[in-house]
């Protein structure tokens, strides 16, 4: 009789070393992993293996395990997918492959709202169309991501009835016409500008154009003329703005900036305001204490929100009704 002998258990796949990752608001942290088996590359002698023998992993969440979706957790150095790239094994380097190689993926929390969730579960996954079926759709164990160090919620808006709210919550009547800087983060080189014109039979002002710049990329929604323009005005090879039409709508755009701030432009269809828009800006932890413009300083203290572009400041008005608060010198300084 021959008795069965079992060998030691050996895990084959992507082994995560830290299944719990803590990230401060606006901070960075690493996922550390290793491959316990080589990932072969299918290639011919005529191809450039330096370009083809690379696999781009995807970072997915527990709620969307089949999609490139990890909530507000972002990989700092991305590939065409939403995760890190690793080199696969060829005949030439098979003899040097080792399971001791440690891979590090740097993460940041790209909050689009300082009140966003603080806990996530993410995993690293091979793309479904990967050339080796044994690895296609393979994913690691899920990793718990905890976000700490909360900051006060930053929310700024500009509305068609000429009302503006600073990120720290002070509202005012901004009934002026022209181009104005709504938000400016110099550290991340991000600027949000609006153009206002008279509307509602010249009784008030409304926003008819929006321009968002991040570095050398500029996205524009211009409804001021007889024809509309909604597209990139300038677009470099490196995309610094993520623009999408919100699902289920035909006229609400969401633009994510490099700091994680989210700009939502709602092109209105109401009879009195058709062709104008409301602008909402949800600031991230990386915008904290970096703000300028009509949205104010964003530091949790509205008393210093009315700083002019030249460094002067205006006092807050205690009037309860926002429409009665006029700060034309402050507003005009941000032209």
List, for residues 167-218, the tens digit of each pLDDT value: 999 999 999 999 999 999 999 999 999 999 999 888 899 999 999 999 889 9
Distance CA 55, CA 127 (A): 8
Q: What is the pLDDT of residue 50?
A: 60
Task: Tell whether 311 is covered by a domain.
Answer: yes
Domain check: are 188 and 139 in the same one? Answer: no
Cα dist. 54→48, 175, 238, 284 in Å? 11, 55, 20, 33
Are 195 and 216 members of one domain? yes
Closest CA to 176 of 192, 164, 191: 164
Strands 204-214, 229-234: pairing kind? unpaired
75 and 139, same domain (yes or no) = yes
Q: Please report the pLDDT score of residue 95 as a whole number.
A: 87
Residue 310 is predicted with a pLDDT of 94
Q: Which long-range contacts (CB under 8 A, 24 or more apart) does 134-140 make?
A: 135/39, 135/55, 138/13, 138/14, 139/14, 139/60, 139/65, 140/13, 140/14, 140/15, 140/16, 140/33
Given this model, what pLDDT does residue 65 score? 67
Is pTM, for the whole model, over 0.75? no
What residues of the chain score a pLDDT lower than 70? 1, 26, 46-51, 64-74, 76-82, 110-117, 149-150, 237-238
Residue 8 lies in a domain: no
If we measure between CA atoms, which residue out of 205, 210, 209 comes closest to residue 163?
205
What pLDDT sits at residue 44?
A: 73
User: Phi/psi class of residue 62: alpha, beta or left (left: φ > 0; alpha: ψ in -120 to 50)?
Assistant: alpha
Kindly report each contact of residues 132-140 with a partner whose C-beta sits within 8 Å and lies 24 or more positions away, as own/partner: 132/39, 132/40, 132/42, 135/39, 135/55, 138/13, 138/14, 139/14, 139/60, 139/65, 140/13, 140/14, 140/15, 140/16, 140/33
Residue 165 lies in a domain: yes
**Which of 121, 148, 175 is where one domain is finished?**
148
Whether 226 and 99 map to the same domain: the answer is: no
**Is 228 part of a structural domain of the chain?**
yes
Q: Say yes or no: 191 and 311 in one domain.
A: yes
- d(Cα 71, Cα 77) in Å, to the nearest integer? 17
Residue 134 and residue 179 share a domain: no
161 and 119 share one domain: no
Answer whether 60's CB lies under 8 Å from 141's CB: no
199 forms beta bridges with: 204
Residue range of the domain that includes 279: 154-332
Residues 159 and 246 in one domain: yes
Q: What is the CATH number of the domain that holds 140?
A: 2.60.40
Out of 148, 167, 193, a domain closes at 148
Report the pLDDT value the prediction gives residue 150, as an integer from 0 to 100. 64
Task: Kindly state whether residues 268 and 217 are assigned to the same domain.
Answer: yes
Is 9 part of a structural domain of the chain?
Answer: no
Number of domains in the chain: 2
The answer to the question of residue 5 being in a domain is no
321 and 199 within one domain = yes
178 lies in the same domain as 215 = yes
Task: Write down the pLDDT at residue 153.
Answer: 78
Do residue 141 and residue 205 come from a single domain?
Answer: no
């Amino acid at each position: 009789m021959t008795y069965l002998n079992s060998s030691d258990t050996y895990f084959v796949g992507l082994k995560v070393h830290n299944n719990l990752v803590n990230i401060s608001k606006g901070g960075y942290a690493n996922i550390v992993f290793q491959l316990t088996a080589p990932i072969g590359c299918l290639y011919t002698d005529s191809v450039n293996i330096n370009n083809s023998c690379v696999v781009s992993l995807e970072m997915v969440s527990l709620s969307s395990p089949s999609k490139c979706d990890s909530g507000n957790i972002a990989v700092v150095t991305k590939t065409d997918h939403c995760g890190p790239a690793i080199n696969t094994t060829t005949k030439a380097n098979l003899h040097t492959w080792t399971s001791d190689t440690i891979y590090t993926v740097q993460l940041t929390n790209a909050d689009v709202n300082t009140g966003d969730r603080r806990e996530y579960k993410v995993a690293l996954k091979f793309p479904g169309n990967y050339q080796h079926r044994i690895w296609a759709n393979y994913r690691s164990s899920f990793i718990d991501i905890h976000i700490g160090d909360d900051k006060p919620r930053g929310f700024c808006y500009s509305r068609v009835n000429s009302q503006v709210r600073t990120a720290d919550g002070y509202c005012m009547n901004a009934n002026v016409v022209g181009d104005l800087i709504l938000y400016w983060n110099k550290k991340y080189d991000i600027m949000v500008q609006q153009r206002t014109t008279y509307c509602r039979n010249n009784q008030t002002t409304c926003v008819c154009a929006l321009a968002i710049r991040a570095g050398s990329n500029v996205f524009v929604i211009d409804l001021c003329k007889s024809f509309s323009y909604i597209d990139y005005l300038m677009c470099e090879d490196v995309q610094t703005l993520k623009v999408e039409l919100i699902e289920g709508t035909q006229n609400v755009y969401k633009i994510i900036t490099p700091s994680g701030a989210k700009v939502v432009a709602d092109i209105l269809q109401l009879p009195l305001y058709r062709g104008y828009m409301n602008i909402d800006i949800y600031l991230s932890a990386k915008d904290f204490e970096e703000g300028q413009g009509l949205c104010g300083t964003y530091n949790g203290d509205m008393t210093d929100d009315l700083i002019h572009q030249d460094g002067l400041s205006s006092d807050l008005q205690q009037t309860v009704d926002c429409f009665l608060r006029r700060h034309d010198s402050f507003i005009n300084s941000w032209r």
